[in-house]
Amino acid sequence: MTHRPKLLVHTSRWPMRWGDMDAVGHVNNTVYFRYMEQARIEWLHALSAAHAGASPPPFVIVNASCTFLLPLVYPGDIEVRMLLGDPGRTSVGSFYEIRMNGEKYADGAAKIVWLDAATGRPAPLPEILAAPLRALAP
């Protein structure tokens, strides 16, 4: 199986919250998805700011997954790396590495589909997103 290259687009860092823990004593599985969401939203805000504050078109997540490698336990500083790859006409695969203390604790993914704001239907990837991804093509 060949792996297509991915483009690192954003890295988020923040302290883990004690409230992220569950009764078993580790970060609840649902919180990993929130960590990925936070990185994705930070990336979109950075993308907008870098392009004269233009609002990116709306999008939806059509699937999401997470492979839990190690349990995260409070306290600690979380790092989430967001990468993009697998561009389509209206969608792009986003991938996430959740790390703490230099070690990977989880791998995640989510397929992002861009929408036309007026119709709510899928729309082509914005050029500011598509151009760097095309450069990854083998």
Q: What is the pLDDT of residues 115-124, one digit of tens each?
A: 998 999 999 9
- Give the separation between CA 104 and CA 87, rounded to whole angstroms: 25
CATH H superfamily, domain 7-134 = Hotdog Thioesterase (3.10.129.10)
pTM value is: 0.89
pLDDT of amino acid 1: 42
Residue 34's nearest CA partner among 55, 19, 50 is 19
Decide which of 30 and 53 is more confident. Answer: 30
Q: Which residues neighbour 55 within 8 Å (Cβ) at sequence distance 6 or greater?
A: 48
CB of 116 closer than 8 Å to CB of 123? yes
Residue 84's nearest CA partner among 28, 135, 15, 24 is 135
CB of 87 closer than 8 Å to CB of 130? yes
Q: What is the pLDDT of residues 81-129, one digit of tens each?
A: 999 987 889 999 999 999 999 999 999 999 999 999 899 999 998 887 8
Q: Which amino acid is located at 87 in the chain?
A: P
